[in-house]
Amino acid sequence: MEKRAEEAARRWLADQGVRRVRDGWVSDDKPEMLLTANQVAHSWAGDVFAEDLDPADQVRLAFGLLDLLDEYWVTCEIRFANEGAEGPLPADELWDGYRQRLEADRDAEAVTYSLWVDWFEDHETSATAFAEVLGHDIDRVVVERSEALLRRARRVLECSGPVRWTVKEPSYRTAMRLPTLHAAVFRGVLASFHDVYGDLEPAAALSLLGRLDLPTDTQHLAELRHVLAAGHKNHYRSPGAWDDAVRCSAAGTPRRREQVICRPD
């Protein structure tokens, strides 16, 4: 399906006079000027939603353009169209487009970045977005355990830092039933502490960490446990807390333990 969407986008761009060449893209208007994929996205992605097409077909064409260009800006135009005068976009096509790309065995950075900074950081859309890309399906992920579903789950968990704790915690706990998702849950909790808009409940997060099967030398695990035990909710609301945790973690070796006394604040 993605390949068909990508080919449809390629044909649509050709109709706009834009085509790929060896080192980038060119337009018929200025064939001597080489364009990057990002420039193509900024110049033409928004035009998809001015096409005389059914809104569902517009969404599918936009996601095909995302597949073709692999540029975050295409997701911005999708979001603008959803919030614009002609919006909202058809929810089934919108979220199915995200789910398909989260499951695909190819780079998904533009998609996960879009979820993180646009949909998850906005508390008006965060709960719905998280439910659509993972929350509604987490039980199926655990039961079916297909590579595609697990891939989607990992990607969403890892960028879920800004999602309200009460929204994402049930999915975190369900995901913990699969050891293969434990590392992704850990990275989700870590992001929940470090993201500017990250959200967590320290006691609940610390309890969750205690049930994860992780290597004892997992990077940042000791520091995260320390700040949570001290009751800190967010890196930016507790300046210096993480540095203190790093200092205490380093002091945990027998050689240095006598030099530094560490306790939760």
pLDDT at 2: 73
Contact 18, 25 (CB under 8 A): yes
Neighbours of 87 (CB within 10 A): 14
d(CA 187, CA 89): 31
**24 three-class SS:** strand
50 phi/psi in degrees, rounded to 5: -100, -5
User: Which residue, 199, 197, 204, is CA-closest to 228?
Assistant: 204
Tens place of pLDDT per residue across the chain (265 aa): 578 999 999 999 999 999 999 999 999 999 999 999 999 999 999 999 999 999 999 999 999 999 999 999 999 999 999 999 999 999 999 999 999 999 999 999 999 999 999 999 999 999 999 999 999 999 999 999 999 999 999 999 999 999 999 999 999 999 999 999 999 999 999 999 999 999 999 999 999 999 999 998 999 999 999 999 999 999 999 999 999 999 998 876 433 433 334 544 4
Question: Do the beta carbons of residue 157 and residue 172 sit within 8 Å?
Answer: yes
**35 DSSP β-pair partners:** 25
Q: Answer for the pair 160, 192: CB distance below 8 angstroms, yes or no.
A: yes
Could you give the CA distance from residue 5 to residue 11 in angstroms, rounded to a whole number?
10
Count of other CB atoms within 10 angstroms of residue 176: 16
Instruction: Give the whole-angstrom CA distance, residue 180 versus residue 136.
Output: 20
> Which amino acid type is present at position 100?
Q
**Spatial CB neighbours of 168, under 8 Å, sequence gap ≥ 6:** 130, 135, 160, 188, 192
Q: Assess contact for 73 and 60: CB atoms under 8 A.
A: no
Whole-structure pTM value: 0.92
What's the sign of the alpha-carbon dihedral 192, 197, 203, 204?
A: negative
Give Cα separations from 117 to 109, 127, 213, 243 (angstroms). Answer: 12, 14, 29, 25
pLDDT for residue 262: 53
CB 48 within 8 A of CB 84: no
